[in-house]
Copies of this chain bind each other. A is one copy, B any other.
């Protein structure tokens, strides 16, 4: 039995993802991953601009100015937003300017309007001196032409999209989302649209696992339901594997379906099975494999444990495919409301509900229930991690939970 982290490292060592690229509109690139460094084709700002409302001036004209001894300046016009300055300024002159307005030739600073006084007839008093460059953003000060504005393998956020569009980068090369194939196996399974005959149940793992893949930015491929024979299971897994970048097998509950999964995986390509059995509950019978440079994960058919195990593994595989590292998933700190017992030697994951607490930490309330009741998952907010060798967690202690 291997801890999940070690199983993922093993997988990492046998897998070199080779994602392809696609060119998309920058405005549609939220949460996508950049395929390459992006260099700025332009400088930002493209021109010297004022950072304040006030007057474009020569700093030297204000030297020594103060409340007691203001400097007098002649206002020779106004620079309108979005337009070129109507003229240059000379010594003793000023042009009214707005925040973001273009500085005229001759000016090297901007006076804040609050530090000036209009004394009528096109003249102002500067009540404060400004240094050269003060209240001015120099051309290229934000970003220089040719500078790297976005590194490769970066997940695009709102601010990144703004940064790209600010320099006219309207299209960006991103990594294609991985296709996550999901195949269920079991004679007892029917599609959700079918009313199950006695003894049969609806296949829901295909949908919970799809939703999980979709949430992580992957493209789920539901591959249907394989019959509980080695031939059908193998044929469907093979066809699905060819279309997928990552393959999840949710094996049926029968002993034979579980046994077949090993054989099916080993038939998909080398090296095949890397680990059978994880030191985690639920998830003990999980199979970790790499076939022909694609990860293949064998999950149980249990509708509760399959998504709980996938929650720990799948987001990291998707991230890895997209050039990210195999970092542990970000956890939330919460306060446990009651004691949870656990066996040493394995990591336990328990569905919890979160609610507001008295301090900064939400309260985590474990949802106990038989391990195979799907409704212990409905309404759960997160998974509580009981660490490998803790022997349990005390009521009132701060714990790590993984949001669902």
A residues lining the B interface (CB < 8 Å): 26-27, 30-31, 44-47, 51, 53, 79-85, 98-102, 137, 141-143, 149-151, 154, 157-163, 165-166, 168, 170, 186-189, 192-193, 195-196, 198-202, 204-205, 207-212, 214-215, 228, 252-255, 257, 301-303, 307, 311, 327, 330-333, 356, 360, 370, 372-375, 377-380, 400, 404
Please pick, from B53, B83, B200, B202, the residue contacting A255 in the complex, using a CB distance under 8 A. B53
Cβ contact of A199, chosen from B84, B161, B209, B214, cutoff 8 A: B84
Task: Name the B residues within 8 Å of A332 (CB-CB).
Answer: 330
CA distance A254 to B81 in the complex (A): 7
- A149 to B332 Cα, complex, angstroms: 26
Enumerate chain B residues within 8 angstroms of A99, measured Cβ to Cβ. Answer: 253-254, 302
A402, chain B: closest CB distance, angstroms: 12
Residues of B contacting A210 in the complex (Cβ-Cβ under 8 angstroms)? 27
User: Which of B82, B102, B204 contacts A186, CB < 8 Å?
Assistant: B82
Given A137-B372, A141-B373: A161 touches B84 (CB 8 Å cut-off): no
Closest to A205 in B: B162
Q: Chain copies in the assembly? A: 2
Across the interface, A46 reaches (CB within 8 A) one of B102, B196, B331, namely B196
Give the shortest distance, in Å, between A367 (CB) and chain B (any CB). 11
Give the residue of B26, B302, B375 whose beta carbon is less than 8 angstroms from that of A149. B375
A372 to chain B, nearest CB (A): 6
Tell which of B26, B51, B215, B307 touches A162, judged by Cβ atoms closer than 8 Å.
B307
Set of chain B residues within 8 Å of A214, measured between Cβ atoms: 30
A211 touches B82 (CB 8 A): no
Q: 29 A-B contacts, Cβ less than 8 Å apart? A: A27-B211, A30-B214, A46-B201, A81-B228, A81-B257, A83-B187, A84-B198, A98-B255, A99-B302, A100-B201, A142-B373, A142-B375, A150-B379, A154-B379, A157-B211, A159-B374, A159-B377, A159-B378, A160-B379, A162-B205, A162-B208, A162-B303, A162-B374, A162-B377, A165-B202, A166-B202, A166-B303, A330-B332, A333-B360
The 8 Å CB contact of A198, one of B27, B100, B102, B196, is B102
Whether B51 contacts A158 by the Cβ 8 Å rule is no
- Cα–Cα, bound, A372→B110 (Å): 15
Shortest CB-to-CB span from A24 to chain B, Å, is 13
Which B residues are CB-close (under 8 A) to A202?
A: 165-166, 168
Which of B51, B161, B208 is within 8 Å of A161, CB to CB?
Answer: B208
- Whether B215 pairs with A193 at a CB distance below 8 angstroms is no
With A207-B165, A372-B51 in contact, do A170 and B193 touch (Cβ < 8 Å)? yes
Closest 4 CB pairs of A and B: A82-B188, A159-B377, A163-B378, A158-B211
Contact among B85, B158, B212, B228 for A307, CB-based, below 8 A: B158
- B141 and A31 form a contact (CB under 8 A): no
